[in-house]
Amino acid sequence: MTDTNDEAASSPRRRGFVVAAVFVAALLVAAVVALVLPTADPGQRQPSAAEPPVAGASATATDRGTAGAECDLPFSDQTVPRTTPTDTQWELVGRVAAPTAPETHGPAVTEPVRSCFARTPTGALYAAANALAATTLPDGGRVLAEDLAAEGPGRDVALDNLPDSPSTPVDSGAPFQLAGFSFLSWTEDETVIDLAVLGVADQQGVYAHTPMTLRWERGDWRLVYSPEGAPFPRVQALPGLAGYVPWSGT
């Protein structure tokens, strides 16, 4: 008689989550997250692209000026995108295709880091996607903490834990690609965007997702680190893209 636990462990759904867990671990290594990440809340709902964004408390921003004023980006459409942005172009950042629209959404600056995004929902989305792609740059963790992070105790912890010498992400080809997005909350000061990514593990395509909090600070969207110093504190396996707007550079 076949043990039911063995059957459950060998089911395609179970195997998929095991494989996804391996991919999640690789993503975390690529992001140079040295600390133990907190366990995700199992009761967290799956986002739905059809739902309105959850109202969030506005953060106190250090710069409440016009979006992208320093880069002449327009303070334009404040509508949260529910479909794939039509004007998206893609550029390789490290080993991941990242979105670019330098005259509308950003980044208007690409050197030394990709920055200067519009103070709009789509600008925030582009900033989140570019920050995630930056994890595949040489010493990507340092780039995030030093150049793209919002001020706060989480960033301080991350800076204190940076290695003395440059580190390089895991060399595994393209470790993942963007696959979709969902807005969990939006204000002009702070937003939470859930990005879905597609990776490959054991020759299988697997999905994972991570909510990213971005704050408008010092004239740009900046990644808010967890108190433990993690830029992506809740990375989870994902069975598919239901509830996400598909969005990919491939």
How would you write 36-92 as a 3-class SS string? CCCCCCCCCCCCCCCCCCECCCCCCCCCCCCCCHHHCCCCCCCCCCCCCCCCCEEEE
Residue 167: predicted pLDDT: 54
Where does the pLDDT of residue 176 fall: very low under 50, low under 70, confident under 90, or very high at 90 and above? Answer: confident
Q: Could you tell me which residue, 3 or 139, shows the higher pLDDT?
A: 139
Average pLDDT over residues 68-91: 80
Q: Which domain holds residue 51?
A: 4-246
Which of 11-25, 110-124, 160-174, 195-209 is predicted most confidently? 110-124
Which has the higher per-residue pLDDT, 237 or 23?
A: 237
How many distinct structural domains can be found in the chain?
A: 1
Q: Higher-confidence residue: 9 or 165?
A: 165
Average pLDDT in the chain:
74
**Reduced DSSP (H G I as helix, E B as strand, rest coil) percent helix, strand, coil of the chain, to 5:** 25, 25, 50
The pLDDT value given to residue 5: 45
What pLDDT score does 221 carry? 95
C-alpha radius of gyration, the chain, whole number: 18
Average pLDDT over residues 156-181: 72
pLDDT per residue as tens digits for the range 196-218:
999 876 677 889 999 999 999 98
Query: How high is the pLDDT of residue 165?
Result: 60
What is the reported pLDDT for 250?
A: 66
Q: Are 176 and 198 in contact (CB under 8 A)?
A: yes
- What is the model's pLDDT at position 107? 94
Confidence class for position 163, pLDDT limits 50, 70, 90? confident
129 pLDDT exceeds 70?
A: yes
Taking only the tens place, the pLDDT of each residue in 130-143 is 999 988 888 788 88
Residue type, 128: A
